[in-house]
Amino acid sequence: MALTLYNKKRNFKETSEPAGKVKGSESELIFVVQRHKASRLHYDFRLELDGVLKSWAVPKGPSMNPKDKRLAMMVEDHPYDYKDFAGTIPEGNYGAGIVEIWDSGTYADLANSPREIAEKNLRAGLKSGDFKFQLFGKKLKGEFVLVKLKGKEDNSWLLIKHHDKYAVDSEYNSEEHTKKDSPINKWLEANKKLGKKTAKSR
Ligand code: MN
C-alpha cells in the first residue's frame, strides 16, 4: 500500500526509476540525498523506514548550520531501491530531468539503538512530527531533526541541524558541495551558455 502513489505517478515503460517494492536493508538503516534538476532544482531527502524511503523535497538543500531551517515538503514514499537511482527521467514523465546522488550513508535514532529499537523510536518521532535522528553520511553527519509545521499545509516540515561537533557556523550552501563535472552541473553550465547565446542574438 505504501508505494501505491509512487507507482501510480510513474510509467515504468518510459522511466528507468525502479518500480515500487517494499523491501528494506538487512543490517543498518540507510539514507540518501538526491539532487534533482526537474522543473526546479531541489534536493530529495530520503530515510529508510519500514521497507520504504520516507521522502521530503528540500528546495534549498540540507544545511550543516543549525541556524538554517530548511523547508522540506513531505512527498510520497519511495521504494528502497530508489537509493541507488541516478540518471535521466525522460521528458513528459513525472519528475522529468536529471537525478544524481548528493550524499548517502546509514542513519539511526539519537541513541544509536539496535535496529529494532531504533525503528520504534524513529517511527514514533515521525508520527509525532518531531523526528530526530543522526546521519552517518559523507557530507551530512550528526544529529538532525525534521519538525512538522503546524497549521501549514499537511506536508510542510523543517529540516534543521542540531548543535554538535559536526555543526558549522559559517554559511552552508549544498550547491557548493557538488562535483564540478556532475551531470546536473554540466547541464547548468551548458544552459547558461545557451542562455547567453539567445540573449546575444536578440
Ligand atoms: Mn525530486
- Containing structural domain, residue 194: 4-201
Indicate the pairing of strand 41-49 with strand 30-37: antiparallel
Residue 197: pLDDT band by 50, 70, 90 thresholds?
A: low
The strand ranges marked E within 67-126 are 70-79, 87-89, 97-108
Helix (H, G, I), strand (E, B) or coil at 174: helix
pLDDT at 17: 93
Q: Cell for 95?
A: 519528475
Span of 19-28, 82-91, 153-162 with lowest mean pLDDT: 19-28
Q: What's the pLDDT band for 201 if we cut at 50, 70, 90?
A: very low
SS3 115: helix
C-alpha of residue 200 to centroid of ligand 1, in Å: 33
Q: What per-residue confidence (pLDDT) applies to 149? A: 95
Distance 98 CA to ligand 1 centre (A): 9
Question: Is the model's pLDDT at 117 over the cut of 70?
Answer: yes
Ligand 1 center to 169 CA (angstroms): 28
Q: How far does the centroid of ligand 1 lie from the alpha carbon of residue 44, in Å?
A: 5
Q: How far is the CA of 106 from the centre of ligand 1 (A)?
A: 21
Residue 54 to residue 58: CA distance in whole angstroms? 13
Q: What distance in angstroms lies between residue 16's CA and the mean position of ligand 1's atoms?
A: 15
| Residue 111 DSSP symbol | T
1 or 21, which is more confident?
Answer: 21
Q: How far is the CA of 142 from the centre of ligand 1 (A)?
A: 24
Condensed to tens digits (0 to 9), the pLDDT of residues 129-178 reads: 999 999 999 999 999 999 999 876 779 999 999 999 999 999 999 999 99
Supply the pTM of this predicted model. Answer: 0.92
Residue 1: pLDDT above 80? no
Residue 5 has a pLDDT of: 92
Measured in Å, residue 61 CA sits from the centre of ligand 1 at 11
Distance 201 CA to ligand 1 centre (A): 34
Helix (H, G, I), strand (E, B) or coil at 34: strand
pLDDT surpassing 80 at residue 202: no
pLDDT tens digits, residue range 40-70?
999 999 999 999 999 999 999 999 999 999 9
CA 183 – ligand 1 centroid, Å: 15
Q: Is the confidence at residue 200, as pLDDT, over 60?
A: no
* Structural domains of the chain, count: 1
Closest CA to 89 of 18, 14, 8: 14
Q: How far is the CA of 136 from the centre of ligand 1 (A)?
A: 22
Cα separation of 74 and 166, whole Å? 25
Ligand 1 mean position, distance from CA 97 (Å)? 9
Residues recorded for the chain: 202
Instruction: Give me the pLDDT at residue 184, please.
Output: 97
**Cα of 15 to ligand 1 centre, how many Å?**
14
Mean pLDDT over all residues of the chain? 93
